[in-house]
Amino acid sequence: MTAPLFAIDALRVAVDDIQIVKDLSLTLQPGEVHAIMGPNGSGKSTLANTLMGHPRYTVNGGDIRLKGQSLLELPPDERARAGLFLAFQYPTDVPGVSMINFLRRAMSARRGEEIPVREFRQTLNQVLGELQIDEQFVRRYVNDGFSGGEKKRAEILQLGLLQPEVAIMDETDSGLDIDALRIVSEGINAFHSEGNAILLITHYQRILHYVQPDHVHVLIDGAIVESGDAGLAERLEKDGYEPFQTLNQERSRQKGLVTA
């Protein structure tokens, strides 16, 4: 049986001895878009950073596999070379490092060999055109003085150039106005193909109007409490998270994890 493209198997994650992610399982097949939705404090960003290998988070159970290979022992750079990508909720400023040099080094690292200048420029210009980004953008230092929307466009530019097999988008829609949200969403859709998969992590349904999910999962208190199609996001928009929080509490009581 062929292994799924990306699999999270009964994952448990703690921060400072506090359990945050609790036996979370999820499988992504090529061509799929999964959305994880949850309120503040539900563990969404903890999950995203753990998948990419952030050292602050302790995995104390389960596994993370890309094309059947466990990633748990790999540092973040090796996970990236293997085909995993994380778009940060709050991208970091890197003064003194130009976007164009950063992008070329990142592409070379992803390939495992130096990319020729001409090929890099051709690919860069193509992606800049698709994202409606002016060439002067890449002459600036990485995220230095960028607006929130510009930082998110820079993340999507990296996505288009690196072509990972699995893209984890951690609240990419956060802080975007309508025009920026549309352009960023178009970049995500341009990247998406039958050969890769996307995990969209978000609070709100609005990005899902542009990037259509195949599966939606509700994350409450570090656990997926319900999964469904795009209609589940519409239920969340209408009813909020409270019904799912109540459902999670009831299930916890039944398991004996919470006393009445």
Q: Which domains does the chain have, with CATH numbers?
A: 6-92+166-217+232-254 (3.40.50.300)
User: In whole angstroms, what is the distance from residue 146 CA to residue 166 CA?
Assistant: 26
DSSP element (H, E) containing 35: strand 33-37
Cβ-based neighbours of 143, under 8 Å, separated by 6 or more: 91, 92, 93, 94, 150, 151, 154
8 A C-beta contact, residue 34 and residue 44: no
| Helical segments of the chain, H only | 44-52, 76-82, 99-111, 117-130, 148-162, 178-191, 230-239, 242-254
pLDDT at residue 257, rounded to an integer: 58
pLDDT at residue 259, rounded to an integer: 46
DSSP element (H, E) containing 31: none
Tokens of 20: 């945050």
Q: What is the mean pLDDT of each run of 10 residues along the chain (260 residues)?
A: 89 94 97 95 94 95 96 96 92 92 93 92 91 89 89 91 96 85 90 96 90 96 94 92 85 65
